[in-house]
Amino acid sequence: MSDTTHTDQARQAALETGVPSEIAALIGERQYPVTANFPVERAYGFNTLAATANGNPLYWDEGVAQALTGGPIAPPTTLSLWIRPHYWEPGAEGEQLALQVHFDLKAAFDLPEAVMTDNTLTFYDPVRPGDVISHAQVLKSVSGPKTTKLGSGRFWVIDLEYHNQNHDLVGIESYTGFGYRRDEAETAGSDS
C-alpha cells in the first residue's frame, strides 16, 4: 500500500470518528520542520555511552568503527538528542517543545492530560559526527473517542522523521499518545 493510500485511509477513518476536518487534513503532512543548531558531536555520544555503561567497541575503537561502518557513527539511540530543543536558548520565545503536534492536539480536543503509550525508533543511514540533523513531525492518525482507566479521550500517532544535511533518512521515531480528560465522578471522589 502506498503512503498516499495509507494517508487517505487514515484521514477518512479520522473523519468517520468525529475528528474535525481541519485536523484530519493534517494527517500525513510534515509540520514544524526544524534543523538542529549544532552538529552531531562524539562527546555527547560518549556521555550517553558512559551513562548506560555501553562498551560496544564500534563507538570507542576507531579501527572497529572504520572496519564496520567506514568511520565513527553516533550511537543510534542518541538520534533524538541531536534535535531536542533546549528549554531556553537565546532569541527563543517561550518554552521550546520537542513534540508540538502532541500539544496542538491536546489543545484542539480540549484534553488537559496526556501520556505517551508507545514509542518506536527505526534506524536508517547512520548518523556521523559533524552531521546536522533536521526533522519534521507527521501526524499519522487520530482515533475516535476512547475511554480507558485514565479517562476519556483520543489516541494519536505522531512520527518524527529525521534527515541529515544530505536529506538522507536517518531514522523515524514514532509516538503513540493518549490525550484524555479524567472521569469527573472519579476525580470528585478522590478529593474526599
Cell numbers standing for residue 33: 520542520
- E strands along the chain, which residues? 30-35, 113-123, 134-142, 146-147, 152-163, 169-181
Could you tell me which residue, 36 or 84, shows the higher pLDDT? Answer: 36
Question: How confident is the model over 129-152, as pLDDT tens digits?
Answer: 999 999 999 999 999 999 999 999
Instruction: Find out whether 156 and 145 touch, Cβ atoms under 8 Å.
Output: no
Q: Is 11 within 8 Å of 27 (Cβ atoms)?
A: yes
Domain range annotation of the chain: 3-190
Q: What are the φ/ψ torsions at residue 101 (nearest 5 degrees)?
A: -60, -40
3-state class of 35 per DSSP? strand
CATH 3.40.50.720 given to domain 3-190: no
Model confidence at 157: pLDDT above 90: yes
Distance between alpha carbon 69 and the CA centroid of its chain, in Å? 26
pLDDT by residue (tens digit) across 69-93?
999 999 998 998 888 766 777 877 7
